[in-house]
Amino acid sequence: MISSSPRCDQTVAWAALSGHYQAHGADLDLRTLFAEDPRRVESLTFEAPEVVVDMSRVHWDVATRRHLLDLAHECRLAERRDALLRGELVNGSEGRAVLHTALRAPRGQAPFSDEVHAVLDQMLAFADEVKASAGGPNPGDIHDVVNIGIGGSDLGPQMVVMALEAFANPRLRCHFVSNIDGQDLAGVLRQVDPKHTLFVVASKTFTTQETMVNARTARQWFLDQGGTDIARHFVATTSNVEGAAAFGITRTFGFWDWVGGRFSLWSAIGLPIALALGSQHFRALLDGAHAMDQHFASAPSEANLPLWLGLMDVWYRNFKGYTSRCVAPYHHGLRRLPAYLQQLVMESNGKGVDRHGQPLTYATSEVVWGEPGVNGQHAFFQMLHQGTDVIPVEFILFKGLPLRDAGQLSPAVQAMLHRQHQMLLANGLAQAQALMWGKTTEQAAHEVAPTASKEVPPEIIARHRTFPGNRPSLTMVIDALTPRSLGALIALHEHRVLVSGALWGINSFDQWGVELGKAMSNDLLPRLDSGDVSGLDPATAAMIARLRGA
């Protein structure tokens, strides 16, 4: 176990930060900060492997950042980071180490290296074996991969495969089934041929309710369609080899109890990624993540990007009072990134007690949500610009846009798509600019005057067109969405979660909040069959009666 560290609210730095907020931090205006410091962008742009982040539109000043660094030091953040990387027991409530960083480290450079690389080599060899005959005409040649998992066994692999579609094998389609709602699985089964389909059952324990229900239904469908070779068409990513064998699966790829679900895409859980992209691109994904690990471990505090993102999250949540943040990737491939980050952040840091089980007196995880940029502009950006809540926005922009099979497009179409990408970037830049600068009532009135309606006074119209401005954002810039850059981007957010969770004094690596409802559902399932409502609360009993048609 690592040595104990003080909880954030028990430190001198926290009290100093509170005093700073009361004296100055509550009234920070971005427009004034820029006017006072012409070099603000330069001093608040941070570079890390594959990612550059402009944090100049964050609601903080020099004093804020100094107090936040003091807080990190007093909470012994560096010690907690180093303990995690060494493989010490940092997940106290489950008695486990947390070593997802070991999954992407080069051979010999992290704990459990021999075991990690043995499984990695086996998994990638299998992926290349499938690739060699993918799309072929013979029975057993794989055309479709169906990943059956939920939570971390679905969100991470699905997000990565969708994001890196430009690098995927065009002869292999990947599908993801997670919902216990049968429509999810049925919709996929209608698209695939059992002779050419590989099912990946992803469950560490091979007992996850939703996953195993879907897996058994998929197996029955396979048998009903004349399938006979379950061992060839079903594989498992699991630690329960015996359970998989009882199911009929003989090819399994395992992982360890120190691999948390929402940190597991780097492990055997990433098999659908390897199948879709091939071994070379999967290794590039790992390399990008490892580069970010090294940055987090060794960059000085003043330049450590994951550190500053985590410090910003604490400042925003506990002092500025911002309850959520919006993630706006200006890239269609990252349309599932907000959903992935929801689990990563809220399952990790949505805790109400500290590491010692003591109730917290301050807020923890913010709500994370979002959509691809331009789509969001036509949905919820109205609220971001003119709503009553201030919600920080995180823009993710890419200089280039790799296109799958670009060589098959005419030069004219390629030029048009390039222009569309420029429009995409212009939109992202403009939204950040508009959030900060806003529009005064006087400016709006000047615009309204020439077209004012007799029925509605121009001053009323102008108030509707007023933007308060001073709304915070940050902008991440990446050269192109590649396996390596995506690996770095994901690892950056993982470490950001560690920073904020460590300062809050919580265990970011358990998820007991997932369990209670699941356990209750096991009690309610037979009651839906029998109608027995004895001992239930009146609301649940009434709903069971209604659902049974009574």
Nearest CA to 394 among 492, 319, 292? 492
- Determine contact, residues 366/325, Cβ cutoff 8 Å: yes
Name the active-site residue from 50, 210, 347, 394: 347
Torsion angle (degrees, nearest 10) of CA 537, 540, 546, 550:
-40
Tell me whether residue 195 is one of the annotated catalytic residues. no
Listed in order, strand segments (DSSP E) in 373-459 are: 393-398
Q: What are the two backbone dihedrals, phi and then psi, of residue 29, each rounded to the nearest 5 degrees?
A: -120, 125
Q: Let me know how many helices (H) and strands (E) the chain has, helices first.
A: 24, 13
Tell me whether residue 196 is one of the annotated catalytic residues. no
481 to 369, 372, 421: CA distances (angstroms) = 21, 14, 13
Residue 179: left if φ>0, alpha if ψ -120 to 50, beta else—which one? beta
- Determine contact, residues 428/395, Cβ cutoff 8 Å: yes
Contacts of 492 (CB under 8 A, 6+ apart): 48, 51, 292, 305, 306, 309
Name the active-site residue from 24, 399, 464, 518: 518
- Determine contact, residues 289/490, Cβ cutoff 8 Å: yes
Name the active-site residue from 378, 442, 454, 455: 378
SS3 readout for 441-501? HHHHHHHHHHHCCCCCCHHHHHHHCCECCCCCEEEEEECCCCHHHHHHHHHHHHHHHHHHH
Tell me whether residue 347 is one of the annotated catalytic residues. yes
Residue with tokens 């009072």: 321
Cα–Cα distance, 497 to 504 (Å, whole number): 11
For the record, the structure tokens of 138 come out as: 């013979």
Instruction: List 368's β-bridge partners, or say none.
Output: 325
Catalytic residues: 347, 378, 518
